Amino acid sequence: MPEVFADLVGQDEAVVELRRAAAAAAAVLRAGASALVPAGPASGDTVAADDAATGGVDPSTGMTHAWIFTGPPGSGRSVAARAFAAALQCVHGTGCGECPGCHTTMGGTHADVRMVVPEGLSIGVGEMRALVLRAASTPSGGRWQVVVIEDADRLTEAAGNALLKAIEEPPPRTVFLLCAPSTHPDDISVTIRSRCRVVPLRQPPAPAVAEVLVRRDGIAPDVAQWAAAAAQGHVGRARRLARDPEARKRREAVLAVPRRLTGVGAAFDAASALIEAAEAEAEASVTEADTTERAALETALGAGGTGRGAAGAMRGAAGQLKELEKRQKSRATRAQRDALDRALVDLAGFYRDALTMALRAPVAPVHTDTAALAGAGAQKWDAEGSLRRLEAVLACRAAIEANVKPRIAVEAMMLALWKG
């Protein structure tokens, strides 16, 4: 296995900072110190005391308890967090990729590393409290307790408060790694933000994405280059496009939308088709998990029973099934939104291509396979018309993000794309 930061594509500055922090963390352990330098407002009062304990590690480059990884989707926020977690558990303190600490963390089986991946639209307070409680225990491997929270922007307010408490008074060997799109107050509360060190990731350039697809996934170079450009810097999406014919088919259907918009009726048809495709994609991705979960729960609860207390047990079972259904519904909604958003990003790429062509900007197209079509659009619409259409797609994304019903937002977008 190569060293743990190898898959963090195009993020050289972040990697330098994380390596430095991991080395500082290892130094803390070697010194047998129990405290870290907290980030944020508290650091002013405690730096002097901690300095002695950490052997004078510079707080700006040293280790701290709470981190936020920010960046656009696909930039590798959770990849960075996992790699950093591995470097913290690495027996050499470097993230060598070879030792048991690195191996188990990267494989998702390290006893002291917990990855929280919300399945629904939000992370609830119950889940967060349980997590914080476990995170306070002594690390079984003698190094750190690491909690990675993917999509920290999906914390409920109550869950955020539970987390804030833990970050404000961190257990001595616990490290929180949060991932969020940005440090905007909509994504992460100002108080949590003020206690964390921020690691900004950028959208990785297409050549860097293509390189990792070739090196790690064994994908042919020409396919990798095409997929990296089409995925607009989203590493996971690029890999799916390169490997999954279904994903390629769905993308082609989305990119066929602009030439199908020949009238009002066609615009509504295109809206329905886009929504239904997102629903179908989402259903395919969650149905199997739903069925497995339900079967497992029913087995765990047992079927029937006539003894004393059976009625009470049945009531409890009904409650648990209801809870499971609620969670599954939330996950399905999320999967639908994600699928629709991917489609909108593809569509935005098409109009962006038309715009850059109308402006004769010397940049490569996002979608090489529809470049001719985008060129025709550029001639017909000019820069202004292309820009208005691009803005219509982006407005649709923003509306759905703001909880406008997807069908309504998509219909409005299709009409705007048709009218220009």
- 405, with CB counted inside 10 A (0-12, 13-18, 19+), is exposed
Main-chain dihedrals φ then ψ at residue 144, nearest 5 degrees: -130, 150
Query: Closer CB to Zn ion, residue 19 or residue 250?
Result: 19
Shortest distance, position 86 Cβ to Zn ion, whole Å: 7
- DSSP annotation of 8: S
Tell me which amino acid residue 213 is. L
- Residues 229 and 209: their CA atoms lie apart, in Å, by 9
Query: Closer CB to Zn ion, residue 96 or residue 166?
Result: 96
Query: Closer CB to Zn ion, residue 40 or residue 97?
Result: 97
Query: Closer CB to Zn ion, residue 92 or residue 202?
Result: 92
- Residues 221 and 138: their CA atoms lie apart, in Å, by 47
Shortest distance, position 361 Cβ to Zn ion, whole Å: 45
Instruction: Output the CA torsion 76→82→83→86 (10° steps).
Output: 180
Shortest distance, position 66 Cβ to Zn ion, whole Å: 23
Shortest distance, position 135 Cβ to Zn ion, whole Å: 22
Pick the closest to residue 143 from 202, 88, 62, 200 (CA basis): 88
Query: Closer CB to Zn ion, residue 104 or residue 183?
Result: 104
Query: Closer CB to Zn ion, residue 85 or residue 96?
Result: 96
Shortest distance, position 101 Cβ to Zn ion, whole Å: 5
Pick the closest to residue 168 from 33, 51, 41 (CA basis): 41
* Residues 6 or more apart whose Cβ sits within 8 Å of residue 406: 275, 278, 336, 337, 340, 400
Angle at 148 between CA 60 and CA 90, to 5 degrees: 70
DSSP assignments along 67-86, one per residue: EEEE-STTS-HHHHHHHHHH
Tell me which amino acid residue 94 is. T
Token pair of 40 as six digits: 């944020």
CB 73 within 8 A of CB 151: no
Shortest distance, position 91 Cβ to Zn ion, whole Å: 6
Ordered strands of the 174-180 beta sheet: 113-116, 145-149, 174-180, 66-70, 197-200
Query: Closer CB to Zn ion, residue 124 or residue 141?
Result: 141
Shortest distance, position 4 Cβ to Zn ion, whole Å: 7
Query: Closer CB to Zn ion, residue 112 or residue 353?
Result: 112
Shortest distance, position 95 Cβ to Zn ion, whole Å: 6
**Contacting positions for Zn ion (CB under 5 A):** 90, 96, 99, 102
For residue 248, the tally of other CB atoms under 10 A from its CB is 16
- DSSP annotation of 155: B
Shortest distance, position 19 Cβ to Zn ion, whole Å: 12
Query: Closer CB to Zn ion, residue 79 or residue 90?
Result: 90
- Residues 15 and 21: their CA atoms lie apart, in Å, by 10
Shortest distance, position 108 Cβ to Zn ion, whole Å: 16
Query: Closer CB to Zn ion, residue 99 or residue 125?
Result: 99
Looking at beta carbons, which residue is closest to Zn ion? 90
